Structures are given as structure tokens and as C-alpha cells.
Amino acid sequence: MSQHDPKWGRRPNDGPPDLDELFRKLNQKLARLLGAKPSGKAPEPRAAFKGGVGAALGVVVALWLASGFYVVDAREEGVVLRLGRYHHTAEAGLQWHLPYPFEKVEIVNLTEVRSIEVGYRNSAKNRVPEESLMLTEDQNIIDVQLSVQYDVRDARAFLFNNATGDRDAKDIVKQAAETAIREIVGRNKVDFVLNEGRAQIAAETQRLIQSVVDRYALGVHIAKVNINDVQPPGEVQAAFEDAVKAGQDKDKLRNEGLAYANDVVPKAEGLAARLTEEAEAYKQRVVARAEGDAARFKQVLSEYNKAPKVMRDRLYFDMMQQIMTSSSKVLVDQKGGSNLLYLPLDKLIQSTGPGNGAAAAPASPAPAAPAPSRAEPSAPSAAATPPREGRDVTRGRDMFGAER
């Protein structure tokens, strides 16, 4: 038979399939799947059809009931809804609920950290001015970018206190973050916000956002608030940089002044303490000397009261001794004569000093004094009367020695 024969490829008696035969085969397969023993007698077509439909319905019911099984992870909670209303919260493990449409379960991850961005999107360059620009206490405009991280604390409140679940909760947290950061920035001045106040502003913003979402009962916990960038608007950036540099110069000069003060003040205090101690020592010395002089005067006074004349002469001689000791020249006025004798004690001391070879030789006679004028009497020359001069010198030395 060639391939062009119209009967080629056809089976004998090829016609439409027999439905009874198909149902019978299907019933046999289902019976084998369900564990029924095959019988040698073929069932009737109608009975086979009913048995197949029942088996199919059983399988469908089994699959429908099996669809109620679900697994809740340890980091999750399952919120079971019955006819759209909250029924219970399922813990971690294998759970079962009535299949759809009676019940359904919403799995909420409690440990997932969700994040929102305020003032930018994905990158600091993608600014959103209507969110980032805000006003400070001193009427300055500043650009603030922050991110808020939060997680779910209560799965039931997170699902039922928001209209559309996670999306609406994110919007509420974002709006609360915008409100909180604007309020905190509005309480502080621009220098505090730009420089040293970022950590404090972030902490206060976190507390304020948490209080807002708690009033809304969102069931979320604000984990952290990050101030990513704080800077003035671009139009006044140069002016703010100049102000920052001026502030830095001010701090530098203040530190230099403090260093100079820390160097000078201790020295001045030490000098003042030294002068105070010296003045106190001088005071004690003067007071002690005065007290000693007073005590000595009292002793002299007592002795003076006992022998006034002797004490008066003694005091006179002591005073003259003090005066003559410091003088190198002595003038002797002879009683009953008009001659004034000059004793060159300084020359005599030099000529009789130690180490001088002329000490053993007799003193040479002094040169003759010049002729006296009419206005004053002339003194006798030393050459004319050497023995008398020697006697006077010896007498003066003995007198002063006896006085001493």
C-alpha cells in the first residue's frame, strides 16, 4: 500500500471514540489509585460514570482541605481572618485554617526592618525639596535629609489599623517623620542643627515619631532615625561656608587666648605669691628688729638710770667710734691753739698695709704745708715738727684704742 492511498494510516473501523469505554478506563485507573481491587466483571457504563465523578469530587475536596495548611516561621506571625474579620493569631509552626473562602491567613514578618526616606529618593543627589527644606528657630532655611527604620511590633494592629496594610503604614510613618523633623528643627537654631546637634535632633525625632505612631496604634516600632545630610540651600551655600570658617577662626583664637592665659596666669600667681612671702619676711624682720631695738633701749635705759653720766659718755664714745671707723681722714683741733692738725690715715694705712715693703721703714716726713693765708691761721709744717706729729699720732691711736 502506497502512501498516496487514502486508507493508509487508518485503523480498521476507525470512527468516533466510545465514551463508555473511556469512562470505564478512567474508573479503573481511579480505582487503582484509591486501592480498590479490580474485578473480572466490567461495570456498567452509568455506574462507572458515577464512580468516576465521586472519586474526582473526593480528590477535589481533599485538595481543598489540604489548601488550609500553612507554615509560620519563627520570625513571623499569622493573622487568620474568618469571612474578612480577625479571628486569631497563629504562632510559629505548621498550622491549618478553613480553606478559602471561609478563612485566609496574612503572614507578617516581625523582624524585617522597613525603611522610609524623607527629603530624597534612593540617593542624596535625588533631592525632594518639598520634603527636605524646613525653617529653623532663627528664621533660616535648611535642607535636611533623613531615613527612618522601623519594624512591626503588633501584627494585628499593623494589618487592621491601616487601610491597605504595609503601604498605608509606610505613608503614615513618613508623614509622622516629616512632622517630627520639622518640629524639632523649628525648635533649634541653624548653627546647632548644622554642627553639633545632629545626634540630639535624631534622638528627639525618633521619640516624637514613636509617640505619633503609638497614638495611631499602627503596631510599629521606630528602630532608628538617621540624619543623612544637613546643609543650607545651594543658593546660600557660600555664605554659610564663610560663616562656618569664621566660627572656626573664633574657636581657634579663643583656644590660643586660653593657652596664653594658662601660661601667663600661673606665672603671675607665682610671682604674686613670692612677693607676698618676701613682704611677709620683710615685715617679720622689721618687726623683730624693732622689738630687739626696743628691748635693747629698755636695757640701756635701766643702766642709764643707774649711772647717767657714765652711760652718756659711753654712748658718746660708741657713736664717735662708729663715725671714725668709716672715715679715712681725721682732723684734730688742739685746744688753746689756732693750728689744725691733718692726719692722713688713708696714706698711713696704705703704707703699712700687708705685702708692702715700706712697712718696716720709718714713715717719711710729710711734705711742708703751703704758706698760710691771711684769712686763716697757718698750720705748722710736718717737716718742722716731726716729733710732735709722731707724738700726736701715737696719742690719737692710744686714745682711740682705749675708746674701742
Q: What are the φ and ψ backbone dihedral angles of 127, each rounded to 5 degrees?
A: -75, 150
With residues binned 3-state (H G I as helix, E B as strand, rest as coil), the percentages for the chain, rounded to 5, are 50, 20, 30
Count of domains observed in the chain: 4
Q: Which residue has the cell 690719737?
A: 396
Cα distances from 47 to residues 24, 33, 38, 44, in angstroms, run 9, 18, 15, 5
Q: What is the pLDDT of residue 217?
A: 84
User: Residues 199, 218: one domain?
Assistant: yes
Query: Please, are residues 43 and 30 in contact by the beta-carbon 8 Å criterion?
Result: no
Q: What is the pLDDT of residue 373?
A: 39
Query: Please, are residues 87 and 103 in contact by the beta-carbon 8 Å criterion?
Result: yes
Q: Which residue has the cell 548653627?
A: 191
User: Residues 253, 278: one domain?
Assistant: yes
Please, which residues bridge with residue 146 across strands?
Answer: 118, 227
| Domain presence at residue 285 | yes
User: Residues 60, 80: one domain?
Assistant: no
Higher pLDDT, 395 or 166: 166
Q: What are the φ and ψ backbone dihedral angles of 194, each rounded to 5 degrees?
A: -75, -35
Last residue of a domain, one of 250, 274, 306: 306
Q: Which amino acid is at 348?
A: L
Domain extent at residue 97:
69-109
User: Residues 118, 191: one domain?
Assistant: yes
| Domain presence at residue 364 | no
Position 268 pLDDT exceeds 90? yes
Q: What is the pLDDT of residue 51?
A: 60
DSSP string across 366-392? PPPPPPPPSSSPPPPPTTT-HHHHHHH
- The helix (run of H) or strand (run of E) holding residue 76 is strand 76-82
Mean pLDDT for the stretch of residues 266-274:
93
User: Residues 121, 219: one domain?
Assistant: yes
- CA neighbor of 227 nearest in space, from 190, 209, 191, 201: 201
Report the percent of the chain where pLDDT is more than 70: 66
pLDDT tens digits along 242-260: 877 888 899 999 999 999 9
Q: Rounded to whole angstroms, how far apart are CA atoms 26 and 24?
A: 5
Higher pLDDT, 138 or 339: 138
Position 207 pLDDT exceeds 90? yes
C-alpha cell at 292: 630687739
User: Residues 187, 225: one domain?
Assistant: yes
Helix (H, G, I), strand (E, B) or coil at 176: helix
Mean pLDDT for the stretch of residues 288-308:
90
C-alpha cell at 213: 505612631
Higher pLDDT, 87 or 335: 87
User: Residues 179, 286: one domain?
Assistant: no
User: Residues 131, 185: one domain?
Assistant: yes
| Domain presence at residue 313 | no
Q: Indicate the average pLDDT of the chain.
A: 74
pLDDT tens digits along 2-18: 444 544 444 445 555 56
| pLDDT-derived band at 403, boundaries 50, 70, 90 | very low
User: Residues 150, 129: one domain?
Assistant: yes
| Domain presence at residue 12 | no
Range from 2-6, 286-290, 383-387 that averages highest in pLDDT: 286-290
- The helix (run of H) or strand (run of E) holding residue 5 is none
Strands 76-82 vs 120-121: parallel, antiparallel or unpaired: unpaired
Query: Please, are residues 369 and 381 in contact by the beta-carbon 8 Å criterion?
Result: yes
The count of other CB atoms within 10 Å of the CB of residue 138 is 10
Position 212 pLDDT exceeds 60? yes
C-alpha cell at 344: 692722713
User: Residues 155, 226: one domain?
Assistant: yes
Query: Please, are residues 145 and 127 in contact by the beta-carbon 8 Å criterion?
Result: yes
How much is the pTM?
0.47
Mean pLDDT for the stretch of residues 313-321:
88
| CA atoms within a 13 Å half-sphere pointing along the CA-CB vector of 43 | 19
Q: What is the pLDDT of residue 180?
A: 92
User: Residues 169, 228: one domain?
Assistant: yes
Q: Rounded to whole angstroms, how far apart are CA atoms 392 and 332?
A: 9
Report the CATH number that the domain containing residue 202 is assigned in CATH.
Answer: 3.30.479.30
Q: Rounded to whole angstroms, how far apart are CA atoms 206 and 223?
A: 8
| Domain presence at residue 287 | yes
| Helix/strand number for the chain, H first, E second | 11, 13
Q: What are the φ and ψ backbone dihedral angles of 102, each rounded to 5 degrees?
A: -80, -50
User: Residues 169, 204: one domain?
Assistant: yes
pLDDT tens digits along 149-206: 998 888 888 887 765 555 578 888 899 999 999 999 999 888 888 888 888 999 999 9
| Domain presence at residue 331 | no
| pLDDT-derived band at 364, boundaries 50, 70, 90 | very low
Query: What region does 130 belong to: left with phi over 0, alpha with psi -120 to 50, or beta?
Result: alpha
Last residue of a domain, one of 38, 66, 94: 66
| Domain presence at residue 325 | no
| pLDDT-derived band at 398, boundaries 50, 70, 90 | very low
Q: What is the pLDDT of residue 39?
A: 53
Position 290 pLDDT exceeds 60? yes
| Domain presence at residue 356 | no
Position 335 pLDDT exceeds 80? no
Last residue of a domain, one of 8, 37, 66: 66
pLDDT tens digits along 32-58: 655 555 555 555 555 555 666 677 777
